[in-house]
Amino acid sequence: MPISQLPFIGDFVRIVCAISNKYFPPLSSPDQVKQDELIAKKMLQQNEKENELKMLVEEKGLARKKTIWRPIEDCEVQGFPRLSDEQLSQLTLGVYQLRLSSSYMQEHTTGNCDIKVHVHEQSLISAKLQSRHTSSRRYMLWIRHSEDMVESWYCQCKTGSRVVGMCSHIAAVVWFLSAGRYQQKESLEVRDWGKYLSDASAIRIDDSSSSESNSR
């Protein structure tokens, strides 16, 4: 958002909230209260923990070790768990990042920003990908897993060391390896809404009606 718009953020928020209250269902319905309480309890418990995988990466200098990078689509990650949408939302503590994961993966794998993966050992993988916002910046991340679950994660981005939820980089890689790669390619495509738009400069305008009205 341009800096000139900062004084109006409060108005924008109120407008968006009014539209949401009018036309969208509640964010939490009465039958979801128990589930929301469980998520809140998990968040509080996770918040008290240290990111042990980050400590391991820094202690062993994994970011500096020689690795063999392969495109994520071609890399066979053995033993990575296959997870349902519900299991993924329990990891990310919400669905926002999961909804972005397919478009995030497509943005990187169909362009010049391939996501590369390296398997350190049977239960530990690393990946590197380019920032969506800064072309010169690349991030490395690590994910420890078992055959049943994703156990821990760490990314070098600003929010990548948190243990309450996960950053969008980790969420996208976890989503692809645990669910996305088993789906049909067509279902991963992001819809091109631009094809429904017309170029105004190419539309011919009939000036005959306006000319007649001006002559009267």
Task: Give the model confidence (pLDDT) of 7-54 as tens digits.
Answer: 999 999 999 999 999 998 887 777 778 878 888 888 888 888 899 999
Q: What value does the mean pLDDT take over residues 65-90?
A: 84
Mean confidence (pLDDT) of the chain: 80
Identify the pLDDT of residue 53. Answer: 94
Query: Reading across the β-sheet that carries 70-71, which strands appear in turn?
Result: 70-71, 116-121, 124-130, 138-145, 150-155
Identify the pLDDT of residue 211. Answer: 52
Q: Which ranges constitute the DSSP H helices of the chain?
A: 9-23, 33-47, 52-60, 85-92, 96-109, 168-178, 185-188, 208-215
Identify the pLDDT of residue 76. Answer: 76
More confident residue, 109 or 48: 48
Identify the pLDDT of residue 106. Answer: 65
CB 152 within 8 A of CB 51: yes
Q: Per this entry, what is the length of the chain?
A: 216
pLDDT class of 132 with cuts at 50, 70, 90: low
In three state form, how does the secondary structure of 53-69 look? HHHHHHHHCHHHCCCCC
Identify the pLDDT of residue 176. Answer: 87
Identify the pLDDT of residue 54. Answer: 94
Phi, psi of 28 (to 5 degrees): -140, 120
Q: Tokens in use for 90?
A: 């329990």
Identify the pLDDT of residue 151. Answer: 93
Least confident of 4-13, 107-116, 196-205: 107-116
Q: Tokens in use for 92?
A: 């990310």
Least confident of 26-30, 55-59, 141-145, 208-212: 208-212
CA dihedral (45, 48, 50, 51) positive or negative: positive
Q: What value does the mean pLDDT take over residues 45-65?
A: 90
E strand or H helix at 151, and its extent? strand 150-155
Identify the pLDDT of residue 61. Answer: 92
CB atoms within 10 A of CB 70: 15
Q: What value does the mean pLDDT take over residues 71-100?
A: 81
